[in-house]
Amino acid sequence: MVLEIEEKVIEAKKASIILASVSTDTKNEALEAMAQALDDNRDKILEANQKDIEAAEKLKRKGELSQALVDRLKVSDSKISGMIDGIRDVIKLEDPVGKTIDALELDQGLELYQVSCPIGLIGVIFEARPDVVPQVMSLCLKSGNATIFKGGSEALNSNRVIFDLLNEAAESTKGMTSGAFQLMETREEVNDILSMDAYIDLLIPRGSNAFVKYMQDNTKIPVLGHADGICHVYVDDEADLSKAYEVCFDSKVQYPAVCNAMETLLINAEIAEKFLPKMARMYDDAGVQMRCDETSFEILGQIDFLKSIARAIEDDWRTEYNDLTLSIKIVESMDEAIEHINNYGSHHTDAIITENDLKKKKFTELIDSSSVMLNASTRFADGFRYGKGAEVGISTNKIHARGPVGMEGLLIYKYILVGNGDKVADYAGPDAKKFTHRKLNKKVGDAVSRK
């Protein structure tokens, strides 16, 4: 069993070497063939999805699956159109492979190029959503990375049909390699995949926090993702309160189920009595449950109309509600807010509302998070809004890619040294030649084909 999986992984790893050198035109042709294959086989996809939906409905009736999961599983004709559009968007993206990042003359005729290249073999482990396969496969193909897909068992039929259509379309394109994309199916395979650090260079999880955490805790392969999104907004005593109302409302209410929504509101004591009552009324009207520290509870306790306020406990400061629940704390200073955020937060996204430029600067420097917002909603922290085209994930990792990550997160670089029989011995000892270390404005292609 494990052997068969390992064979698939080794096949993909081997193919990854070839895929790294496939031309842009060939990759774009493969992507267009993939889009076309989905368009030509809508009925087949809907039919397979129907089987998954029926099985999921049964499990739901037994209480083993939630309606939310059934919804995520559902593929409609317009969702297929979305998949097709997504693939065609990737065709439009510039080929990120083989770009000269830096060029340096070490000595006359000895030139060092830093050149972008694919990471190699990516493992994507995802829960129900069948739209992960076209999205990730198109990004990986364009960036020259081979990919192992491991989807949830609930989407077994949908994933299989979609994967086969895409993979056949890609592999039948002239100049493409075969074996670069592999689909794993049974549930036991997750742990097998996590153990294959000898072959898999990067894991991308798509699923719940618990799911990501499990992966992070059970593999030596780097994981691009985040387990928690405990985001804060700090309303400073020098805040423009009209901005504060807008940002605090948006950060919590606009879409609370996601990782970049605010979970804890920190308010400077100086302005708390002025700011909080109106803010609380806005939240209350929107159905937000408030969990207050002692001071904010006292302030709000004087207002009798509020439907849902409670006292916060220590755990609240560490909780990602992903829901219309908000913890509120009054702080004496920005420093206290910063310490709270760095201590209880998840280093994802945190905001300050202030008009003081020095405080803005200090806040950006001292908050140890992947996104820091100045007078703007935490909800902006997202690959699409950050202009990345397609999002690979949001990383709270501090190595490689951090924050919302686009296709650039699937790339690394290699150094290419172009010489002419050069040897280090000439640069050592008493008569050592000196390195020039002069910046070059050249591309690696010129250097390799010139000679």
Within 143-182, which residues bind a second copy (CB under 8 A)?
none
Q: Hey, which residues between 317 and 346 contact a second copy (CB under 8 A)?
A: 338, 342
Give the residue, chosen from 53, 84, 115, 266, that forms a contact with a second copy under the rule CB under 8 A.
115
Give the residue, chosen from 15, 33, 119, 166, that forms a contact with a second copy under the rule CB under 8 A.
119
**How far apart are alpha carbons 256 and 249 in whole angstroms?**
11
Phi, psi for 133 (deg, rounded to 5): -60, -55
Cα of 174 vs its chain's centroid, Å? 32
Interface with a second copy, residue 231, by CB under 8 A = no
End-to-end CA, the chain: 50
**How far apart are alpha carbons 294 and 314 in whole angstroms?**
12
Give the residue, chosen from 255, 278, 308, 323, that forms a contact with a second copy under the rule CB under 8 A.
255
Residue 372 CB, shortest distance to a second copy, in Å, is 5
**How far apart are alpha carbons 124 and 138 in whole angstroms?**
13
Give the residue, chosen from 36, 50, 254, 289, that forms a contact with a second copy under the rule CB under 8 A.
254
**How far apart are alpha carbons 349 and 362 in whole angstroms?**
16
Name the one range near a second copy by CB under 8 A: 52-60, 70-78, 241-249, 316-324.
Answer: 241-249
Residue 389 CB, shortest distance to a second copy, in Å, is 9
Q: What mask, x for binding a second copy by CB under 8 A, covers residues 56 to 75?
A: --------------------
Interface with a second copy, residue 81, by CB under 8 A = no
Give the residue, chosen from 46, 59, 106, 440, that forms a contact with a second copy under the rule CB under 8 A.
106
Q: Hey, which residues between 372 and 401 contact a second copy (CB under 8 A)?
A: 372-377, 379-381, 385-387, 398-400
332, two tokens: 């004496």
Interface with a second copy, residue 430, by CB under 8 A = no
Residue 243 CB, shortest distance to a second copy, in Å, is 3
Distances (CA, A) of 101 to 2, 78, 182, 222: 40, 40, 31, 24
Q: Is residue 67 within a helix (H) or strand (E), and if so which, with residue range? A: helix 67-73
Burial letters 144-158, b for 16+ CB under 10 A, else e: bbbbbbbbbebbbbb
Interface with a second copy, residue 423, by CB under 8 A = yes
Place of tokens 């309303």: 235
Burial of 174 per CB tally in 10 Å (0-12, 13-18, 19+): exposed
Which lies closer to a second copy via its Cβ, residue 187 or residue 220?
Answer: 220
Name the one range near a second copy by CB under 8 A: 48-56, 132-140, 151-159, 411-419.
Answer: 411-419
**How far apart are alpha carbons 359 and 91 in whole angstroms?**
43
Cα of 323 vs its chain's centroid, Å? 21
Which lies closer to a second copy via its Cβ, residue 302 or residue 420?
Answer: 420
Report how many residues bind a second copy under the rule CB under 8 A.
Answer: 83
Name the one range near a second copy by CB under 8 A: 84-92, 204-212, 236-244, 267-275.
Answer: 236-244
